[in-house]
Structure 1
Amino acid sequence: MSELPNKARVVIIGGGVIGCSVAYHLTKLGWKDVVLLERKQLTSGTTWHAAGLIAQLRASKNMTRLAKYSQELYSKLEVETGVSTGIRETGSITVALTEERKEEIFRQASMARAFDVEIEEISTAEVKARYDYLNLDGIKGAVWLPRDGQADPGNIALAMAKGARQRDAQIFERVAVTDIRITGRRATGVDWQRENGEVGHIQADMVVNCAGMWGHQVGRLAGVNVPLHACEHFYIVTEIIKDLPQLPVLRVPDECAYYKEDAGKILLGAFEPVAKPWGMKGIPDNFEFDQLPEDFDHFEPILSDAVNRMPILAEAGIHTFFNGPESFTPDDAYHIGLAPELDNFWVAAGFNSIGIQSAGGAGMALAQWMEDGMKPFDLGDVDISRMQPFQGNRHYLFERSKETLGLLYADHFPFRQKETARGIRRSPFHHEMLARGAVMGEVAGWERPNWFANSGQDRRYRYSWKRQNWFENSAAEHNAIRTNVGMYDMSSFGKIRVEGPDAESFLNYVAGGDFSVPIGKIVYTQFLNKRGGIEADVTVTRLSDTAYLVVTPAATRLADQRWLQEHSGDFRVVVTDVTAGEGILAVMGPNSRKLLEMVSPNNFANDYNPFGTAQNIEIGMGLARAHRVTYVGELGWEIYVAADMAAHVFEALVEAGEELDLKLCGMHMMDSCRIEKAFRHFGHDITSQDHIIDAGLGFAVKSTKPEFIGRDAVLARKESGPHNRILQFLLTDPEPLLFHNEPIIRDGEIVGYLSSGSYGYTLGAAVGMGYVPCKGEKPAEILASDYEIEVAGRRIKAIVSLKPMYDPEAKRVKDM
């Protein structure tokens, strides 16, 4: 029995495919003193029973990048380690049984081309030629990915474990972590116990939680929130089918099913619409290579459809009915990254049944992040800091997990809202909005009006890839903002107070703007990384000599707060989340000043309250703070009011607004207005890998400051010129809709993809934004090209602009 070390550079908790991948990639970077602890045997939790499907295409460019890396790695591991990963490039077929699903998979095919993934739309005859066993009834369309395949999950993990050992990693089985010791904001080491009762402690510079479905409880040992929940996951394996050839992986998402050929048998797996959560009282300590009790009644509807779709299943006997647990997160995206609560505790867990195809890339990305102290590229989709503290609530996870498993194969309609575990975070205006027809969406747990239904209209989403049932409602809201006055709830936006004697110097270091400004000045700014990439897109308002308010998007509040705390160093500052303390009503449009003058005695004129300034005001019979800023491209104010007076201020504005025909508006309106004005959306148009100069936001950086994070990268890019430019695209056909990831075609060649898209009701067609490579090119050269946008395989001509197509001089924002 090997003796455990007393000290390590890093302790990795969990010996599934993810833990083995992190160990493999850290040692590949040259790390020594890497220790991996597995409570039972390697792969004994979830990895051993995974289906082993290897797919390249994911929902975003970087997630696809990680999946492609995984496939390439698994193909090379046998040469390096001598352990076969069983990888086979069988290809995969996805078929659609409805017109809406056909639109989805054809849009995915367009996206794949932008991401450099081989894909082809194929006919039903071509489907039959590749998969003769399939009943073609009802198939509307299909796509073929020739590079997809399947592999042996257990051997992939064991190969990476061996590769890590070959570079001196120490891997110990049957050693459970019983506690994680914490001092301040650092994990100092782990307590462990062998099955024979032997105990000990390893001092560690870093700890990584790769504990899979145990990840939630391991996180709690360190005071770290890792929201995930185990669910039962079912598949069957047939008896051997005579003369069964090697077949592509087949997905029939409209029947919740996938199929793969496995050693002369067919494996049928399911992602049923309503899942069965498991392990509510904790996972048994003795769980090892275990499976859960059969539930044929639960699986029977999937099997019934499958027998019709694949008639040979009726002739083949069932060799194995398998039910094994897998972990699922609240948004169906896995967790990797630095835990917000600690400075040296990392997470890679919650892989939502895509752990095998993701593990190689996820381990590589996390290892590089740990090595460099910064993300290697944008990982916002999976960065654990997107998870809100309340999402670790067990009851919440239990309810949400019933839905998230099934969403893997549900229609991925734009604007689709989660239906479970809702209503948890509500603004002070929530009930007032509901009473007036609000249809809520949810972001980071916040309930927010997305659109307002008319009297008698069904107050639910009717999803489609075409115009949804709220399209005209949002058009009316958009028009009110452009021509009159509208009001919407921004209370969910994060509010972070930075205060202390060094608040000014700290913000001047951590952000690109100049914060040596008068009290009441609002600064639009970004937090930059050392590469000049954008870590946050915020406004900062100076409240006093020693206090500022940082306002962030709702979904990134925790990440932005972590960034501030991480870089506070020796600065004498306190960083505090005050989001819930104030409600925000955005009053926007040409008549917004008129409305505020009806409810407040304060002066809102340009010479007293110019754009980019805030003032304390009386409003109704209460008090508030009015910030003259806008994200919709019109004259307007954001009204910050203490939660206790919020309802009163809302009533005062609504009552006065009747005279002006004030219209309540939702988040869909905000998105359509902002994209007409070419305002960037963080997480889509600007991310940690997008250089601020390329993003067209150099005006927000005061590079004459002596020192701030990213300064050298900003100066270098200003000197060289942009490598890419973000452009605004307006389709010449008013019918198609844009969302994001549609390919950008320049002079007949795909050169990029849309980072965001929406409908421009004022401009009269769909609008998109996206980056075009342009190193060494002048703006006139870029604009001289012919551009098209590909939507579901169809190329549509687009008008292109570097300046905002709506109010390019910002006269409506600043001069009205």
Structure 2
Amino acid sequence: MTKSIPQSARVVIIGGGVIGCSVAYHLTKLGWTDVVLLERKKLTSGTTWHAAGLIAQLRSTMAATRLSKYSADLYAKLEAETGVSTGLAQYGSVSVALTEARQEELLRNASMARAFGVEVEELSPKEVKEKYEHINLDGVHGGVWLPGDGQGDPANIALALAKGARQNGAKIIEGARVTGIDVDHRTARGVRWEADGEEGVITTDHVVNCGGMWAHEVGQMAGVNVPLHACEHFYIVTENIAGLKHMPVLRVPDECAYYKEDAGKILLGAFEPKAKPWAMDGIPKDFEFDELPPDFDHFEPILEQAIERVPMLAEAGIHTFFNGPESFTPDDAYHLGPSPEVPNLWVAAGFNSIGIQSAGGAGMALAQWMQDGEMPFDLVDVDIARNQTFQRNRRYLKERATESLGLLYQDHWPFRQKETARGIRRSPFHAQLGELGAVFGEFAGWERANWFAWPGEPREYQYSWGPQNWFANAAHEHTRIREGCGFYDMSSFGKIKIDGVHAEAFLNRVCGGDMAVPPGKIVYTQMLNSRGGVEADVTVTRLSEFSYLMVTPAATLVKDMAWLRRHEDPEDAIFITDITAGEAVLAVMGPKARDVLQAISPADFSNEAFPFGTAKDIDIGLGLARAHRVSYVGELGWEVYIPSDMAAHVMETLIEAETEARPVGLHTMDNCRIERAFRHMGHDITPEDHVVEAGLGFAVKTKKNGDFIGRDAVLRKREEGLQRRMLQFKLSDPAAMLYHNEPIVRDGKIVGHIASGAYGHTLGGAIGLGYVPCVGESIDDSLSSTYEIEVAGRRIGAEASFKPMYDPKGERLKM
């Protein structure tokens, strides 16, 4: 067999599960004939062979839904193309709610489905029974019916994709274990293999890590972070049940269970609240089509509830009790795209028990990404570059995996905080904010003060779909920002230093804004892709002739660093450095911010001496800092950048000064920014959203010296006109809440969805931002319609505006 392993290939795919086979299939469909797939044992022998094979169309984002729908369509056509049956059967699915909160979630999901173009129907308990006759309706509040959902044969789907890939020229080699990846200058050069007692290396232009639960280990071969961990996953299969056939999938998330009819049997699977991580010391070398030891005690509570919910299970014998490993990621989203560390090493792994329904779409998306060199559409939620470096820690992965599996079926509350593997990253202000009453949430590993509890109040989240227990606290903090002065911790935001004689030219090439500004000037800008989509939304401050500071959201730091390095020319005399941990940042915001800062610093904060959009070094207390006059909340304010070793002193100085400044949390920052219609990277703006249609064309300087990425796309859009534009919406019902993905209804027709939502305490209602089609329309045309927003199936009237509803001229920023 070793004679059949080539010495070179355009791409080497590692892993022969359904994901690897899909990537090979789609690359060959794009004309990549020099494709090699290496599988350590037999195809499907890791996780694919024992997958439940559920194929659901609705996911939590438009992009993920697009990929799932693509998968179902592909599997329906594969048999005709390859002769291998995929077993696709679209009998639909029923999800039921046993609590009012879950019913609200299902109704919101149904609204989201309509916004995403997925056929959906809300069900009464009686209608649930009509769809799934074997259910016991005790405690059922209602449900949702998705007729396009279905199931398939996992192994055959993978084998059909593999055959299709072979037919188009791919080499698929079983029994070849990858032992190493050669990396030179951040580029993968070769893949080392062992087979039949022999060893070799394949030189290659691209490597794709589709290693499944081995993907973490494979990534480490090249110094690439792929955070995931295997967990035990349980299901039982009954004996044959007479007359049982063609049943929809039933999901009862409040009981952690799903039910799938398969050839006259019932497969009962579970996502239990506390999972069992597996293989903490590594996966056994000879693992192939293996099962794990049964643990009936662990599964028994699920089974007891299931027998009550579907009584016929009590009469059916158990044919199989199965326990097999699957990989889960820290945030329950899979990993896709080029690795930040080694850009030509791609990843498609960590599918959190939805690998079958995702494989077709994920393979298509990754192949197109590899072909174009850019994300084909909005894949930010699954981009491998969202992960933080520390997440490769094995203890962290084990602890978080105990929670992440169970969260798949837990209530998906807004603002829900992870409970495991906490306290890893803390700003220098952490202890002091805790003394002031901070309630912390976790974001990108950072403990961040989200809101402040009053004395004697529990410091905890009490979740609901309506106003949560901190709603009044946030309203009070909001007033502080709008009428007085509030300060909040921004230390978690990413800080990237770009130094060197070519720094200006480099940044002008990768940013839409003009970086030829004097030292001390702050430029708000975006990094664009070739289509004009927004890859990053940042501020760039020129510190000196050859030094700049780029500030970016905490979650996108790794991605933005990778983007900069990917576009760095070997001739560029620059250095790109992450200095996030080196500086703490205290945002001091509100109409009285000038007075507060003047009380603790001798610097001149007047408009004349310190205009908006500038930065200066200042004395503060007994230390030093750099103050940036910018604002993400729509008020007068400064972001004060303090060396980390002086941060605690500056906070003490501020508190001891007894000014009107009070601490506020990051929920309040978000509530304030949405009133001012400031965009949120990852929700309102993504690589799929054109910068001009996002209303950010003002930040793009097409007349600056030199070309830049996305310039042609911006000029073309300005000439051709907009396909859609972003509007701001305010609900007429002040009690209703917006989060994201609620349908936008224009003159009775769904035309889009809310990209981001929050409560506007000053404006007196929930505020959302979202795109609406506008081909051939003026702004007045877009605003002349009647708008509603659908919230949990109820359509609520909404005021629409193109300009920010709060301070539309931006006068308060420059007070």
Q: Same fold (TM over 0.5)?
A: yes
What is residue 688 of structure 1 aligned with on the other side? 687
How far apart, in 1, do the equivalents of 2:245 and 2:349 lie?
Answer: 36
2:62 matches 1:46: no
Q: Report if aligned partners of 2:240, 2:264 keep a CA contact under 8 Å in 1.
A: yes
What is the CA-CA distance between 1:29 and the residue it aligns to?
A: 0.1
What do you get for the CA RMSD once the two structures are aligned? 0.6
What is residue 422 of structure 1 aligned with on the other side? 422
Runs of 5+ consecutive residues of structure 1 not aligned to the other structure: none
Q: Which moved more, 1:720-729 or 1:640-649?
A: 720-729
Q: In the alignment, residue 741 of structure 1 is paired with which amino acid?
A: N
Q: In the alignment, residue 802 of structure 1 is paired with which amino acid?
A: F
How far apart, in 2, do the equivalents of 1:425 and 1:62 lie?
Answer: 30
What is residue 586 of structure 1 aligned with on the other side? 587
What is the CA-CA distance between 1:571 and the residue it aligns to?
A: 1.7
State how 1:663-678 maps to structure 2 within 5 Å. Answer: 663-678=662-677
What is residue 165 of structure 1 aligned with on the other side? 166
Q: Report if aligned partners of 2:790, 2:796 keep a CA contact under 8 Å in 1.
A: yes
What is the CA-CA distance between 1:775 and the residue it aligns to?
A: 1.4
What is the CA-CA distance between 1:663 and the residue it aligns to?
A: 1.6
What is the CA-CA distance between 1:123 and the residue it aligns to?
A: 1.2
> SS where residue 693 of structure 1 aligns?
coil
State how 1:706-725 maps to structure 2 within 5 Å. Answer: 706-725=706-725
How far apart, in 1, do the equivalents of 2:448 and 2:184 lie?
Answer: 38
2:656 matches 1:655: yes
State how 1:461-540 maps to structure 2 within 5 Å. Answer: 461-540=461-540
State how 1:733-744 maps to structure 2 within 5 Å. Answer: 733-744=733-744
> SS where residue 189 of structure 1 aligns?
strand
Q: In the alignment, residue 193 of structure 2 is paired with which amino acid?
A: W
Cα offsets for 1:54-109 (capped at 9, x unmatched): 00000000000000000000000000000000000110000000000000000000
Equivalent residues, number: 812
Q: Report if aligned partners of 2:188, 2:345 keep a CA contact under 8 Å in 1.
A: yes
What is residue 341 of structure 1 aligned with on the other side? 341
What is residue 616 of structure 2 aligned with on the other side? 615
Cα offsets for 1:609-629 (capped at 9, x unmatched): 100000000000100000000
What is residue 599 of structure 2 aligned with on the other side? 598
How far apart, in 2, do the equivalents of 1:145 and 1:623 lie?
Answer: 60
Q: In the alignment, residue 694 of structure 1 is paired with which amino acid?
A: E
Give the ranges of 4+ consecutive aligned residues of structure 1 lying more than 4 Å apart after TM superposition: none
How far apart, in 2, do the equivalents of 1:605 and 1:720 lie?
Answer: 43
Cα offsets for 1:438-459 (capped at 9, x unmatched): 1111111011000000001010
State how 1:25-36 maps to structure 2 within 5 Å. Answer: 25-36=26-37
What is residue 384 of structure 2 aligned with on the other side? 384
Q: Report if aligned partners of 2:229, 2:277 keep a CA contact under 8 Å in 1.
A: yes
Q: In the alignment, residue 761 of structure 1 is paired with which amino acid?
A: H
How far apart, in 2, do the equivalents of 1:655 and 1:210 lie?
Answer: 55
What is residue 189 of structure 1 aligned with on the other side? 190
What is residue 697 of structure 1 aligned with on the other side? 696
What is residue 552 of structure 1 aligned with on the other side? 552
How far apart, in 1, do the equivalents of 2:413 and 2:231 lie?
Answer: 24
Q: Report if aligned partners of 2:596, 2:659 keep a CA contact under 8 Å in 1.
A: no
> SS where residue 432 of structure 2 aligns?
helix
How far apart, in 2, do the equivalents of 1:127 and 1:695 lie?
Answer: 41
Cα offsets for 1:594-647 (capped at 9, x unmatched): 000000000000011100000000000100000000000000000000000000
2:788 matches 1:788: yes
Cα offsets for 1:463-505 (capped at 9, x unmatched): 0001100000000000100000000000000000001000001
> SS where residue 459 of structure 2 aligns?
coil
How far apart, in 1, do the equivalents of 2:366 and 2:127 lie?
Answer: 40
> SS where residue 323 of structure 1 aligns?
strand
2:59 matches 1:79: no
Q: In the alignment, residue 709 of structure 1 is paired with which amino acid?
A: I
2:110 matches 1:109: yes
How far apart, in 2, do the equivalents of 1:351 and 1:494 lie?
Answer: 28
What is residue 261 of structure 1 aligned with on the other side? 261
Q: In the alignment, residue 388 of structure 1 is paired with which amino acid?
A: Q
Q: In the alignment, residue 696 of structure 1 is paired with which amino acid?
A: G
Q: In the alignment, residue 38 of structure 1 is paired with which amino acid?
A: E
What is the CA-CA distance between 1:343 and the residue it aligns to?
A: 2.3
What is residue 241 of structure 1 aligned with on the other side? 241
State how 1:94-105 maps to structure 2 within 5 Å. Answer: 94-105=95-106
What is residue 432 of structure 1 aligned with on the other side? 432
Q: In the alignment, residue 793 of structure 1 is paired with which amino acid?
A: G
What is the CA-CA distance between 1:245 and the residue it aligns to?
A: 2.7
How far apart, in 2, do the equivalents of 1:3 and 1:780 lie?
Answer: 66
2:303 matches 1:303: yes
TM-score normalized with structure 2 length: 0.99
State how 1:405-420 maps to structure 2 within 5 Å. Answer: 405-420=405-420
How far apart, in 2, do the equivalents of 1:250 and 1:118 lie?
Answer: 17
> SS where residue 76 of structure 1 aligns?
helix
Q: In the alignment, residue 68 of structure 1 is paired with which amino acid?
A: K
How far apart, in 2, do the equivalents of 1:610 and 1:353 lie?
Answer: 53
State how 1:316-335 maps to structure 2 within 5 Å. Answer: 316-335=316-335
What is the CA-CA distance between 1:766 and the residue it aligns to?
A: 0.3
How far apart, in 1, do the equivalents of 2:245 and 2:697 lie?
Answer: 58
What is residue 771 of structure 1 aligned with on the other side? 771
What is residue 12 of structure 2 aligned with on the other side? 11
State how 1:627-666 maps to structure 2 within 5 Å. Answer: 627-656=628-657, 658-660=658-660, 662-666=661-665
Cα offsets for 1:109-155 (capped at 9, x unmatched): 00000000000001111111121110000001100000100000000
Q: In the alignment, residue 671 of structure 1 is paired with which amino acid?
A: D
How far apart, in 1, do the equivalents of 2:244 and 2:126 lie?
Answer: 20
Q: In the alignment, residue 164 of structure 1 is paired with which amino acid?
A: A
State how 1:146-161 maps to structure 2 within 5 Å. Answer: 146-161=147-162
How far apart, in 1, do the equivalents of 2:644 and 2:211 lie?
Answer: 40
Q: Which moved more, 1:92-101 or 1:243-252?
A: 243-252
TM-score normalized with structure 1 length: 0.99
How far apart, in 2, do the equivalents of 1:55 and 1:64 lie?
Answer: 9
How far apart, in 1, do the equivalents of 2:89 and 2:502 lie?
Answer: 58
> SS where residue 454 of structure 2 aligns?
coil
2:130 matches 1:129: yes
> SS where residue 625 of structure 2 aligns?
strand
How far apart, in 2, do the equivalents of 1:690 and 1:292 lie?
Answer: 45
Runs of 5+ consecutive residues of structure 2 not aligned to the other structure: none
What is residue 729 of structure 1 aligned with on the other side? 729
What is residue 448 of structure 2 aligned with on the other side? 448
How far apart, in 2, do the equivalents of 1:109 and 1:295 lie?
Answer: 36
How far apart, in 2, do the equivalents of 1:127 and 1:572 lie?
Answer: 66
How far apart, in 1, do the equivalents of 2:541 and 2:169 lie?
Answer: 51
Q: Report if aligned partners of 2:87, 2:152 keep a CA contact under 8 Å in 1.
A: yes
Q: Report if aligned partners of 2:245, 2:263 keep a CA contact under 8 Å in 1.
A: no
How far apart, in 2, do the equivalents of 1:354 and 1:497 lie?
Answer: 39
How far apart, in 2, do the equivalents of 1:718 and 1:172 lie?
Answer: 50
How far apart, in 2, do the equivalents of 1:738 and 1:481 lie?
Answer: 22
What is residue 89 of structure 2 aligned with on the other side? 88
> SS where residue 543 of structure 1 aligns?
strand
Cα offsets for 1:235-261 (capped at 9, x unmatched): 000011111132100000000000000
How far apart, in 2, do the equivalents of 1:343 and 1:87 lie?
Answer: 36
Q: In the alignment, residue 669 of structure 2 is paired with which amino acid?
A: M
What is the CA-CA distance between 1:659 and the residue it aligns to?
A: 3.5
2:269 matches 1:252: no
Cα offsets for 1:685-738 (capped at 9, x unmatched): 000010011000011010102311100000011112221100000011101000
What is residue 747 of structure 1 aligned with on the other side? 747
> SS where residue 381 of structure 1 aligns?
helix
What is the CA-CA distance between 1:32 and the residue it aligns to?
A: 1.5
Q: In the alignment, residue 97 of structure 1 is paired with which amino acid?
A: L
